[in-house]
Copies of this chain bind each other. A is one copy, B any other.
Amino acid sequence: MDLPPELASWEDSAAVVLPIPYEATVSWGAGAREGPAAIIEASKYVEWYDEELDREPCEAGIHTLPEIQLTSAGPEAAVRELRALYDDLLEAAGDRFVIGLGGEHSISSAPVHAWVDRLDGDLSILQLDAHSDLRQEYHGTRWNHACVMRRVLERTDRISAVGIRALTSEERAVIRERGIATIFAHEMRRPGWVERAVEALGGNVYITFDVDFFDPAFVPATGTPEPGGGSWWDAMDLLSAVFGERNVVGADVVELAPRRGEEPSAFLAAKLVYKMIGLRTRP
């Protein structure tokens, strides 16, 4: 994020932002590769003070790494590259909170697998998303963004998915067979969904936040804009609960496609990242 050097050094930062402008398996609206730069640009205009937390989260320090340019040789090679990078980064980061900025969702299996290994399997995933992303293969590869949670599922089935409103029959069957905790979007209209989503999670949680979780009214700037999605306050309720009641080890925010004329989407994403850092570094 855009901060003065004294609040952004590696040494003194409690949070680390990793921009991953990867995009190679898009379905409809392209542009996710411009997501990280747009979020960082918009972060200039996010106020440091947070009136809900009543403090300035950036005082905990937020270090932003340079953009990493993954290979364009194909998604499998790219995820492999990213996995190696994450292993080194998490080792170096210690207890710093690393948050990745996509780029397309296919990148998320790299940090999830890295964390599963670091925690000997004791990891749950909170997925905020419009799509299940549970396909076995898509457009000729198992590493397409539409398959990312299926890749996650190969290592852990402790997944709590929220906001889902677009999936195939095959994916619906996987949810049933594997018992994936799922709050469909239409279920978010009934009280208690936040509690249900958190209960399905174990002690250690990785959050993968696809911004198409939000209704397109709030975030039009994404590839496949499904109507009937969550609001800002839906996200805030869920994040407040999960950061308050669980140990969030890492996170990513993906699929922002900052097309022209949609600055509000980038600004929202920047504030979302800042809010997550604020919740994580709460004294």
Contacts and interface: CB of A to CB of B under 8 A. Distances in A.
B28 A45 contact: yes
Contact of A141 (B69, B72, B233): B72
Chain A interface residue number, banded: 35 or more
A29 interface: yes
A119 interface: no
Contact of A224 (B45, B69, B172): B45
A139 B69 contact: yes
A267 interface: yes
Contacts of A215: 217-218, 232
A46 B264 CA distance: 25
B225 A267 contact: yes
A161 B210 CA distance: 34
A227 interface: yes
Contacts of A264: 216-217, 220, 225, 227
A264 B265 CA distance: 13
A143 B74 CA distance: 10
Contacts of A13: none
A136 B171 CA distance: 41
Copies of this chain, tallied across the complex: 6
A109 B260 CA distance: 32
Contacts of A73: 74-76, 140-141, 143
Contacts of A75: 72-74
A261 B45 CA distance: 22
Interface string A33-77: 110010001001111110110101000000000000111111111
B28 A31 contact: no
Contacts of A153: none
A30 B26 CA distance: 10
Contact of A49 (B169, B217, B232, B263): B169
A142 B186 CA distance: 42
A58 B215 CA distance: 24
B225 A218 contact: no
B45 A165 contact: no
Given A72-B141, A140-B73, A260-B261, A168 B45 contact: no
Contacts of A29: 263
Given A49-B169, A49-B172, A139 B71 contact: yes
A209 B268 CA distance: 22
Contacts of A164: 51
A271 B166 CA distance: 10
13 contacts: A23-B26, A23-B30, A28-B44, A47-B167, A49-B167, A49-B171, A49-B172, A51-B172, A51-B184, A72-B144, A73-B75, A216-B267, A226-B267
